[in-house]
Structure formats: C-alpha cells, structure tokens
Amino acid sequence: MIHSIRHTDSFSFRSPPRLHFAAGAVESLGEFAGRARNVLIVTGRSSARKSGLLDRMATALGNRNVTVFDSVEPNPSILTCEHGAAVATKAGADLVIGLGGGSAMDAAKVVAAIAPNGGYFAKLLGKTHYPHQPIRHIAVPTTCGTGSEANAYAVITDPDKADKVTFVGDQTFPELGVLDPTVLAGIPRELLIHTAFDAFSHALEGYVSRRSQPITDTLAVEAMGMILHHLPVAAEGDADAKANLLLAASMAGIVIAHTGTTMLHPLGYYLTLQHGLGHGHANAVMLPLLMRHLQQASPDRFAIAVGLLPEGDRSADGMNRYLAKMGIETSLSAHGMVADEFGPCADYVVARSSTAATPGTVNRQRVIDLLGEQT
C-alpha cells in the first residue's frame, strides 16, 4: 500500500515513550530503574506472582525497596487507583512499574499521576497538566493487546456511574515500555486471542478514524497485517508468533495515541458493563458490526483492511469466518444481549466522544439497525 498526501495537508506526530523489545528484557529492570530506590509494582491479583514474573523482577531490581500493589481487578475502579496511590505515597515510591494487561498498566498510570497530587482521581480527571510531576512510570505488558505502554490513556471504571472514564494527560505517557516476549510463555490461549483482537481493533479504528494521518496509517496497516497473520499460529503456542503480536500491540497503541478510537470501543464497553465480557473479547464480538458499517461508510479503507485477511476470506463474511476460527461467537444473543437493549446501547454509543471519529453517519437509528443485523 502506498500512502499519498497533498501539499495542503497538516498533521503532527509525537510518540514519547521509549520502547525496548528484547527476550529477557525484564532482567534489565535494574538498569532501567536508574537512581530509583523505592519501587512500587502495580499488578493484578495473582498471575504475575504465580508465573514467577514478580520474583524475576524483584531480583532484577536488586537491593531497591520493592512494594507490590496486587489489588488491580479487571476493569479497575477509581477506588482501586486511589488505594494504589495511597500505597505509593506510604512507600515513598520514586518509580511505578505497571505489570500486566491493560487493567494493571492503566491503573499504574493513574497511581503515578495522582499520588504526588493529593491522591484523588477526580481532581486530575480531564486536566492535561498536573500541579506536580507524576512519579516515573515504566510499563511491562504481559498480554498482546492493550498497547497501554505506548500511549497516555488509562480507562478506569466509575462504579457510581456504571461507566468507564478515560484518564489522560500530557504527563501520563509511560517513560518506558518493556516488551519482553518471554513473559507470554504461559499466557492462556483465550486471553491471547482476546487481547490480540483488542490490538486489532485499535489498529483498525485508528486507520479508519476521521483523525487518521499518514504515519499512523502506516503503523495501523502493518499492525493489522501482523495480527491477522500471526494470531492463528500464536494461539497454538508459537513463541515467534507471540512476539510479533506483542510488537503489533505496541504499534497499535501508538496509533490510538494520535487517532483515538471509534464507535467500536463504546460498543465493546456496553458489552463489558452490561454483560461482563472482557474488553478485548467484547471488541471482537462487535467487530463485524463495525466492518458492515465501514463497507458502506469507508469502502476504500474497508477494502485495505479485509485485504489483509487470508486469501479466500477477504470480505466482511471472511472476517466473520476468521473470528469463528479463533473461537469468537459474534451473535449478540449468545452473550445475553436482547433486542430491548438496542436502544439503550445506541444511546450510550452515540453519547461517547470517540463515536464522532467514526466515518460516515452514526446516529441512534444506524446503531440500532447494525445491532439488529447481529442478533
């Protein structure tokens, strides 16, 4: 694919986080930590400990004081982030390491930002600059989907509103993303697949977004192609294929740092909030809906995206077959979503700011119609 620009076009590109890719890179955390003496590791409740990854990191960090905050749940809440900030303050943390999937890395971003600024989420939400510099922050992804190590976004659940909110500012980019494919050795097959589709959705949404631009387009197309090519082999345990997914996820994370997402993410959020599906799984289920919309709203970019599928599957139906081969059931009713929910879901989707970046006309009736085609 050859990109072309016009001499009247205008765009900018900035990707602050340094990304370090290497097998065994977590063993270099002592070097990456530099002068930090008090390290807080923000992670999930069990997997990093059970896998031995926490022990590897503690050894790599040497004689530093290491505190582990391992209370991050899937879809982390505001309260969890504030609790983590209190732990960071008590430990005198001068480095925060987010270890895990998107939930842990997103929570770590918020902890690093709010701990030096009073510890309260609401005081910084919506602000681009903070009174006090966040704590230094390193991200270590253990899945291949979120791309949180490459952007400034943290998606946090507000239980009082039963909704997700996006915490983002100029100072919430990680200092460093450590991409170590060895941490994927024991990742469960289903989690691998679901997180890979999260990364694919980031790349696709960034590519078709009204905010797309030539540099992100190049990254997005490459990331989509890498994911579709390597996922079936990675799902069978191939280490090289997993490494490619890890890299593609970071590339897609860079894309959405500039473009944001589209209506696919709010659709996925609805399934997560109302029916309990994990984020990547929910995005995968809703992916055919976006593809049907793009076939009309952005036919040229739709053609590029489906052209990355295996030969014989380069169509919207082919995408459905690909999803099915990877074990994704895309019928909404199979996940408990009924026709009576289509209106509330459409209201939710249309109200989200990211939906405005979707090409074509996206209104309440359009969303309802698309949902009705996927029962």
Query: What is the phi-psi region of residue 118: left when phi exceeds 0, alpha when psi lies from -120 to 50, beta otherwise?
Result: left
Domain that holds residue 302: 189-372
CA distances from 161 to 130, 169, 281 (A): 25, 22, 23
- Residue burial 194-210, b: 16+ Cβ < 10 Å; e: rest: bbbbbbbbbbbbbbbbe
> Is the same domain home to 351 and 229?
yes
> Is the same domain home to 25 and 174?
yes
> Is the same domain home to 96 and 134?
yes
- Write out the two tokens for 287: 């992916």
Q: What is the CATH number of the domain that holds 79?
A: 3.40.50.1970
- Write out the two tokens for 299: 């036919």
> Is the same domain home to 157 and 205?
no
- Tell me whether residue 63 is in a domain: yes
- Tell me whether residue 1 is in a domain: no
> Is the same domain home to 122 and 228?
no
> Is the same domain home to 157 and 304?
no
Domain boundary pick from 160, 184, 208: 184
- Tell me whether residue 84 is in a domain: yes
Whether 41 and 68 have beta carbons less than 8 Å apart is answered as: yes
- Tell me whether residue 2 is in a domain: no
Across-strand partners of 68?
41
The predicted model scores a pTM of: 0.96
Q: Is the pLDDT of residue 262 over 90?
A: yes
- Tally of domains within the chain: 2
Q: What percent of the chain has pLDDT over 70?
A: 99
> Is the same domain home to 201 and 177?
no
Residue 107 has, within 13 A of its CA and on its CB side, a CA count of 34
Q: Is the pLDDT of residue 117 over 80?
A: yes
Closest to 140 measured CA to CA, from 181, 170, 171: 181
Whether 374 and 289 have beta carbons less than 8 Å apart is answered as: yes
> Is the same domain home to 362 and 218?
yes
- Tell me whether residue 6 is in a domain: no
Domain boundary pick from 184, 219, 244: 184
- Tell me whether residue 130 is in a domain: yes
> Is the same domain home to 175 and 52?
yes
Residues 275-310 have pLDDT tens digits of 999 999 999 999 999 999 999 999 999 999 999 999
- Tell me whether residue 361 is in a domain: yes
Q: What is the CATH number of the domain that holds 264?
A: 1.20.1090.10
> Is the same domain home to 224 and 290?
yes
Residues 146-188 have pLDDT tens digits of 899 999 999 999 999 999 999 999 999 999 999 999 999 999 9
* Cα distance between residue 368 and residue 375, in whole Å: 11
Domain boundary pick from 126, 158, 184: 184
Whether 141 and 111 have beta carbons less than 8 Å apart is answered as: no
> Is the same domain home to 156 and 35?
yes
Residues 21-62 have pLDDT tens digits of 999 999 999 999 999 999 999 999 888 888 899 999 999 999
Please give the mean pLDDT across all residues of the chain. Answer: 96
- Write out the two tokens for 15: 């990707």
- Tell me whether residue 8 is in a domain: no
